[in-house]
Amino acid sequence: MSESRPYLRAQPRHWWAHQPYRAYTIRELSGVALAIYAAILLAGLVCLARGPDAFEAFRHFLASPVSLLIHLLLLAAAIWHMWTWFQILPKTMPKLVWRGKLIRQDVMSRTATLAAVACSIALLALFVVVGANI
Amino acid sequence: MSRPKDSPLPKRTIAPLFWLMFGAGGMLAALFGPALILATGVMIPFGWGLPQSLDSYANVLALARNPIGKLVLLAVIALLFWHAAERLFLTLKDMRAAPVWLLRWLTYGVAAVLTVVAFALLLAIGF
């Protein structure tokens, strides 16, 4: 009888590169930056397994300007990942109630972001302590 | 397991396993990612605030030979790959970049292979 024929609006080809989807695309691609960092660590592990000479070459690369530039870009992406991750968090988890009141999403995001900053500072402090005792 | 065709229960999938890895990797990166990148990529190699000897061959070898150190290295490397694989897969799928089966292999497949490589290297480095 009545056949369903929903209207499908035509989508431009590169919709993901334009507003309002661009922010979503950038957020999702911050994951690629994390994969690049994991690949650098894995390369270090490969060099470690191959011996002292290979590992020295890896350290030599880490101390180069190119590596510094890459890591600064990765750092910016990781900070963006941290920020957006905790903006999404309250939307993906069950509602939190404390003393009969609903906890606001922006309060959850802010608290979690501060906790993450504290975690990163604690890890840097651990590096400093280990470095002082090595 | 056989499931009756008229079962009211939703079909079981292994998708939650991928979400778990995605979530774990994302949380790990959000909590410690900035500090890790800053330390291993900027501060230690150039000796800015941390001694350069921290990533000397002997020290990194000691870390990779320690069972807990092995676990930390594997967790960081593998979970970051699985996190990226999930995000990249869904984004490329939304972009209709390639057939879905191909995207699965290029993302989850690569993450799986690199996880096995990291695991094998950590074993080869010994205890």
pLDDT value of residue B38 = 97
Whether residue B41 lies within 8 A of chain A, CB to CB, comes out as yes
Q: Which fold has domain A15-94+102-132?
A: 3 helical TM bundles of succinate and fumarate reductases (1.20.1300)
pLDDT value of residue B1 = 53
Nearest CA to CA, how far is B2 from chain A (Å)? 32
pLDDT value of residue B123 = 96
Running DSSP on this structure, what letter comes out for residue A98?
Answer: E
Running DSSP on this structure, what letter comes out for residue B98?
Answer: S
- Identify the closest residue of chain B to A114 by CA–CA distance: B31
ipTM of the complex: 0.92
Taking CB atoms and an 8 Å limit, are B114 and A128 in contact across chains? no
Nearest CA to CA, how far is A93 from chain B (Å)? 12
Q: Dump pLDDT digits (tens) for B102-120.
A: 999 999 999 999 999 999 9
Check whether A1 has a pLDDT greater than 70: no
Question: Model confidence at B2, in pLDDT bands (50, 70, 90)?
Answer: low
Residue B87: name the closest of B4, B38, B25, B9 by CA: B25
Nearest CA to CA, how far is B19 from chain A (Å)? 12
Domains annotated for chain B, with CATH where assigned, are: 17-31+57-125 (1.20.1300.10)
Q: Dump pLDDT digits (tens) for B42-88.
A: 999 999 999 999 999 999 999 999 999 999 999 999 999 999 999 99
pLDDT value of residue A134 = 80
**What does the alpha-carbon distance between residue B73 and residue A69 come to, in Å, rounded to a whole number?**
24
Average pLDDT over residues A5-17: 85
Taking CB atoms and an 8 Å limit, are A131 and B50 in contact across chains? yes
pLDDT over 70, % of chain B: 98
Contact of A101 with B15, CB cutoff 8 Å: no
pLDDT value of residue A6 = 87
pLDDT value of residue A110 = 96
Taking CB atoms and an 8 Å limit, are B30 and A71 in contact across chains? no
Taking CB atoms and an 8 Å limit, are B33 and A81 in contact across chains? yes
